[in-house]
């Protein structure tokens, strides 16, 4: 309840204060960090399931959020904190998307919290494939980075199995549709993922690292790391 109120207060402030305040305050950060492990506590997963059916989310994101369309992201098992933040950014138009923004614009704060709880609780399905040469090249880069180019290991934030970090909101990347991952990495590299080329504020520290990381990757590396993330589980 306290968290829900905090989110509502913040959302009101975001609307009223425009970009003068960060989307999340330190209070919300602490609340999330202090919450017990289950991300479903953030919202009502049952209501989220009903809303996802009413709003046809799975028409694009796949049954229970396991996308079957390569350019559309899977949401199943994504951490709630990341999902909430992205829905807020999509709703505000800060993350432009012709497909998503009209839908996001209709979501209430309660919808966002409940939909996030629903998708966080779904089981991600990745293809059971042994890595081919492309994915193997991606594995080395993902797990170790490249110290010679000051490229950090992707695993240091996204987890050794691509499971992400629910406490910090670093997204899960395992099982993700490869073309979506490629588009996402290109958008970071070109700084077109968000309407603003530079995001400021402490909550965007890792985002700014993502800009740097992605801009150091070659097109071949982007393809291989996307192929590897697809088969991670
Ligand atoms: C018409 C297709 C479509 C529908 C319907 C749709 N989405 Fe999306 N959604 C997308 C696309 C495309 C993106 C990726 C946007 C981009 O990166 O440009 C996306 C992105 C997202 C993201 C961010 C994912 C990430 O990994 O960053 C979330 C969360 C999301 N959608 C939730 C929902 C929810 C919840 C619903 C239902 C209320 C919904 N979407 C309905 C197409 C759709
Ligand atoms: C310092 C931590 C950090 C490192 C290192 C890092 N990432 Fe990220 N990554 C993030 C964060 C945080 C986000 C979400 C940023 C945002 O809000 O848009 C993200 C987003 C992404 C996304 C988009 C996810 C989605 O659903 O839209 C992909 C793909 C990704 N990272 C891949 C990688 C790869 C590949 C590497 C290694 C080459 C890497 N990341 C290294 C923190 C990191």
Minimal CA–CA distance to 173: which of 107, 101, 117, 232? 232
| Residue 122, token pair as written in the block | 């779904």
Q: Which ligand is nearest to the CA of 152?
A: 2
Identify the pLDDT of residue 41.
54
Supply the mean pLDDT for the chain.
84
At 48-99, the pLDDT tens digits run: 999 999 999 999 999 999 999 999 999 999 999 999 999 999 999 999 999 9
**What average pLDDT does range 27-36 have in this prediction?**
38
CA of 199 to the centre of ligand 1 (A): 21
CA distance 192 to 107: 24
| Residue 48, token pair as written in the block | 């989220």
In this structure, the residue with its CA closest to atom 9 of ligand 1 is 100
Residue 230 DSSP class: H
pLDDT top residue among 39 and 48 = 48
- Indicate if ligand 1 lies below 6 Å from the C-beta of 83: yes
Domains, the chain, in order of start with CATH, read 2-120 (1.10.760.10), 133-231 (1.10.760.10)
Q: How confident is the model at residue 127 (pLDDT cuts 50, 70, 90)?
A: confident
Task: Mention every residue, 6+ apart, whose C-beta is less than 8 A from residue 128.
Answer: 231, 233
CA distance 77 to 123: 5
Residue 19 DSSP class: G
- Indicate if ligand 2 lies below 6 Å from the C-beta of 214: no
Identify the pLDDT of residue 200.
78
At 178-196, the pLDDT tens digits run: 999 999 999 999 999 998 8
Q: Which ligand is nearest to the CA of 86?
A: 1
Query: Which residue pairs, CB below 8 angstroms and at least 24 apart, start in 155-159?
Result: 157/206, 157/209
Please determine, for residue 20, whether its predicted confidence score (pLDDT) is greater than 60.
Answer: no
Residue 191 DSSP class: T
Please determine, for residue 109, whether its predicted confidence score (pLDDT) is greater than 90.
Answer: yes
């Amino acid at each position: 309840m306290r968290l829900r109120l905090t989110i509502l207060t913040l959302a009101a402030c975001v609307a009223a204060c425009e970009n003068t305040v960060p989307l999340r305050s330190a209070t919300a950060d602490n609340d999330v960090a202090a919450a017990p492990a289950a991300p479903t506590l953030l919202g009502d997963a049952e209501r989220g399931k009903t809303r996802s059916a009413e709003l046809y989310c799975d028409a694009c994101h796949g049954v229970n959020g396991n996308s079957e369309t390569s350019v559309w992201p899977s949401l199943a098992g994504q951490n709630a904190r990341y999902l909430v933040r992205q829905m807020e950014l999509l709703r505000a138009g800060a993350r432009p998307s012709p497909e998503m923004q009209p839908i996001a614009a209709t979501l209430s704060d309660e919808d966002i919290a409940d939909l996030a709880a629903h998708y966080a609780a779904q089981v991600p399905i990745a293809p059971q494939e042994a890595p081919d040469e492309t994915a193997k090249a991606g594995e080395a880069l993902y797990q170790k980075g490249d110290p010679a180019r000051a490229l950090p290991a992707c695993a240091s934030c996204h987890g050794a199995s691509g499971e992400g970090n629910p406490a910090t909101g670093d997204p899960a990347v395992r099982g993700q549709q490869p073309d979506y991952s490629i588009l996402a990495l290109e958008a970071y590299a070109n700084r077109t993922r968000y309407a603003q080329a530079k995001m400021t504020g402490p909550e965007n520290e890792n985002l700014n690292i993502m800009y740097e990381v992605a801009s150091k990757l070659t097109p071949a590396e982007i393809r291989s790391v996307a192929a590897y993330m697809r088969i991670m589980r």
